[in-house]
Amino acid sequence: MKLIAELAGTEHGLIIKIEQQKVFAEIHGRNYEVEIRERNENHYLLLEGTRVFDCRVEQTREKFTVHLDRNEYSIRIIDPKRLSSAQSGSRHDHGAVEIIAPMPGKVVRVLVEAGAAVTTGSSILVVEAMKMQNELKTPKTGTVVSVNAEPGATVNAGDVLAVIE
C-alpha cells in the first residue's frame, strides 16, 4: 500500500504493509518493522525492536494529530488511489486572504467597511471569547472585499469574517 503523508508542508512517500499485528514500512529508503499493540481505539503502542513509541492519533477534519512522546505531529494522509478533486480548490485566488474566526465567540466590533484600504497589521474586527477580546488583524496590505459579520453576531471557529485582497 502506497500512501503520501504530508507533515509541515513536506510530503513523505510511505509504503506500508500490515500483517496481523506486524507493520512493515518504508519511508525515504528507511525500513521499519514495527509491532502494534492497541491500547484503545486510537491509542497504539508501537514497538520497533525494543524501542517503545506510545502514539495517540486524533482525527481533526482532514488531518491526523499524532501525539508521540512530548511531540505533536499534524499529518494529512493522501491515498493516491482515492485522490479526488474535492480536496483542492475552494481557496481564494489572486492572493486574497480570509480573516477567519480562530475560536467560537462573539463579534464585539467591526473596524472596517467593505472597500476600505488596509495596511498589514491593522485591525479588522474584534472577537470576544472566554472573556478575552481578540483583535483580528490583516496579514497583508490591500482592500477589504467583504465583511461577513456584524457586531453582536455569534461566530464559530473557521468562519470567514472578512476577505482582504
Partner 1 sequence: MFRKLLIANRGEIAVRVIRACRDLAISPIAVYSEADAAAVHVSLADEAVLLGPSPSSESYLSIPKIVAAALKAGAEAIHPGYGFLAENPDFARAVVEAGLTFIGPRPEAMEIMGSKTTARRAAMQAGVPIVPGTVEPLATFSQTKELAEQFGYPVMLKAAAGGGGKGMRLVHSYDELLSAFETAQSEAAAAFGDSSLYLEKAIDRPRHIEIQVFADTFGNTVHLGERECSIQRRHQKVIEECPSPINDPELRKRMGAAAVKLARAVNYTGAGTVEFLVAGATREFYFLEMNTRLQVEHPVTELVTGIDLVREQINVAAGAMLSFRQEEIGWHGHAIECRVYAEDAENNFVPSPGRISYLRVPSGPGVRDDSGVELGSDVSIYYDPMISKLAVWGRSRDKAIDRLRTALDEYAIDGIKTTLGFFREIVRDQEFIAGNLDTGFISRFKQRRDLATANTPESEGQIRARDLALIAAAIHYLRLQRETSQKTAASPGQTRWKMSGRRAVARGKAR
Give the binding site for partner 1 (CB under 8 A).
1, 3, 5, 7, 12, 14, 16-21, 23, 25, 27, 30, 32, 34, 36, 38, 40, 42-44, 46, 48, 51, 53, 55-59, 64, 66-73, 75, 77, 79, 102-105, 108-109, 123, 126, 128-135
Q: How far is the CB of 76 from partner 1 (least distance, A)?
A: 9
Q: Helix, strand, coil shares of the chain as percentages rounded to 5?
A: 0, 60, 35
- Smallest gap from residue 94 Cβ to partner 1 (A): 25
Cβ distance to partner 1 smaller for residue 74 or 140: 74
CA 44/CA 36 separation, integer angstroms: 7
Residue of 106, 84, 97 lying closest to 164 (CA atoms): 97
Quote the least distance from Cβ 75 to partner 1, whole Å: 4
